[in-house]
Amino acid sequence: MEIDAWLWWLIGATALGIALVVTAMPELGMLAVGAIGAAVVSGVFGGGAVAQVVVFAVISTAGIAVVRPIANRHRAQRPQFATGVDALKGRQAVVLERVDASGGRIKLAGEVWSARALDTDRAYEVGQEVDVVDIEGATAIVM
């Protein structure tokens, strides 16, 4: 029994789809789409081997040329909205207990946080406003 070319293309597309899920490489998805295109050319339009390979190559290359730059841009971007402790960096806080290099307490975003001065020679007194420059665990680093 001979298997039609369109079925081989679908088997290849399925294998590429599985590889895409396992590796999370978007290029494999574009190759799978190209294989589906070649299967359509073979099964629906009755195109020969050359037409199938050309359609596969054109669709795959075009897909990769479009998707790869978009994927790289999204991978390189930071989230547009900071969340969690990242959202607290750069905010102002009020000193509740003297803050120096060994510690203290601040009120940050309506919550009481332990804090430590960034500059080890500096101390901040009760009522002073400070800027949060970093969060280390549950301690705000202020200046």
For domain 86-142, the CATH superfamily is: Nucleic acid-binding proteins (2.40.50.140)
Answer left, alpha or beta for residue 127, where phi above 0 means left and psi between -120 and 50 means alpha. left
Could you give the CA distance from residue 50 to residue 56 in angstroms, rounded to a whole number? 10
CA nearest 93: which of 65, 112, 121, 77?
Answer: 112
Q: Which pLDDT score, from 0 to 100, does residue 79 have?
A: 65
C-alpha–C-alpha distance, residues 127 and 90, integer Å = 18
CA dihedral sign, ordered 91, 97, 99, 101:
negative
CB 142 within 8 A of CB 130: yes
Closest CA to 119 of 103, 137, 139, 142: 142
Model-level pTM? 0.54
Domain ranges of the chain: 5-76, 86-142
What is the model's pLDDT at position 20? 93
Instruction: Going residue by residue through the chain, which has 143 residues, state the pLDDT in tens, using 9 for 90 and above.
Output: 788 999 999 999 999 999 999 998 888 999 999 999 999 999 999 899 999 999 999 999 999 999 888 878 887 876 677 777 788 888 999 999 999 999 999 999 899 999 999 998 999 999 999 999 999 988 999 99
